[in-house]
A = this chain, B = another copy of it.
Amino acid sequence: MAVYTEVTDEALADFLLGYDIGTMVAFRGIAEGVENSNFSLRTSTGDFILTLYEKRVDPHDLPWFLGLMEHLAQHGLVCPQPVRGRDGAALRQLSGKHAAITTFLPGVWPRRVRQGHCSPVGDALAKLHVAGAGYAPTRANALGPGSWMPLLDRCRARGDEVQAGLIRELDTALASILAGWPAQLPVGHIHADLFPDNVFFLNDELSGVIDFYFAATDLLDYDIAVCLNAWCFEADFSFNVTKSRALLRAYQTVRRLSAAEQAALPVLCQGAAIRFLLTRLYDWLNTPAGALVTRKDPMEYLRRLRFHLTATDARAYGL
């Protein structure tokens, strides 16, 4: 369920008066996504996505997100481009929420990742990193390494309800990850959530990258680590090094990894796994039983984390 806020047809018609994109033709809530309310909007001039920002997004970050999307779109990455109103503003108000209209991207996200998806993802991620370099404003990564111990502490009292011994295992892993966290790697704007449901494909070609609402300024290689977690594990949580190699090779065709960057892959992947494990664990423990959002199983990331803890160097990822 991704429609938390209802928009009346009158309110929408009024809202569209602020834009130069024609009048409403069709308007449907979109089921995908869990953070914001999304609607597919057709007007007399074309197709768009209307997003109402819900409480998990800090309104102060919205201009940064929209600015990044606009910058990336102008620099060759296919991603939703914010549509500016007649007054030049992309960020507006609708039904009591911050709201923005972005361009519609064709394509379908892959429900099952095939090897053929991984090269295009690596290529797009590298292009995103390169294109992002020209966007001057920065945003600290609220879910970066500094957030993981506080998150673990908030799960400490009840975490073992999910699995006996879990908190002790995470304490040990996190201490090792934070101790080994690389300090000197290249920093830039990262997507930070480039999972399959945020990448569209059309006729086996990547047709767009969406959902920049976790984007931040952080280690570029951490973004690669998120993708290795998101795209290269099979349903049984075995790691598919062929997919990983394809993703990394395509990435390096655009942006070459230094020896230090390659050497950091295991700890970065451990960090990415524990980041999704911890947010899922927190949500698991704190989502009311009657909530409309489907809770995601945190234990899937414990399986990934354990794999990454066995990796001693970049060869584990096919380099």
Contact = CB atoms under 8 A, between A and B. Distances in A.
A9 B111 contact: yes
Nearest to A200: B26
Contacts of A108: 9, 12, 24, 26-27
A291 B1 CA distance: 12
Contacts of A9: 108-112, 201
A28 B7 CA distance: 19
B30 A30 contact: yes
Interface residues of A, number: 37
A14 B244 CA distance: 27
A286 to B, nearest CB: 14
Contacts of A1: 1, 31, 292
A8 B111 contact: yes
A12 to B, nearest CB: 7
B24 A28 contact: no
Given A112-B8, A112-B10, A3 B25 contact: no
Interface in A18-35: 23-32
Contacts of A12: 108
Contacts of A23: 203
A294 B292 CA distance: 8
Contacts of A290: 289-290
Contact of A40 (B7, B10, B28): B28
A129 interface: no
Contacts of A27: 108
Contacts of A112: 8-10
A89 interface: no
Nearest to A105: B26
A44 B151 CA distance: 46
A42 interface: yes
A8 to B, nearest CB: 4
Interface in A104-129: 104-112
Contacts of A203: 23
A2 interface: yes
A8 B111 CA distance: 5
Nearest to A112: B8
B31 A29 contact: yes
Contact of A30 (B7, B29, B42): B29
Contacts of A25: 106-107, 202
A6 interface: yes
Given A9-B111, A26-B105, A30-B31, 15 more contacts: A1-B292, A7-B111, A9-B109, A10-B111, A23-B203, A24-B108, A25-B106, A27-B108, A28-B31, A29-B31, A30-B30, A40-B40, A42-B106, A289-B289, A290-B290
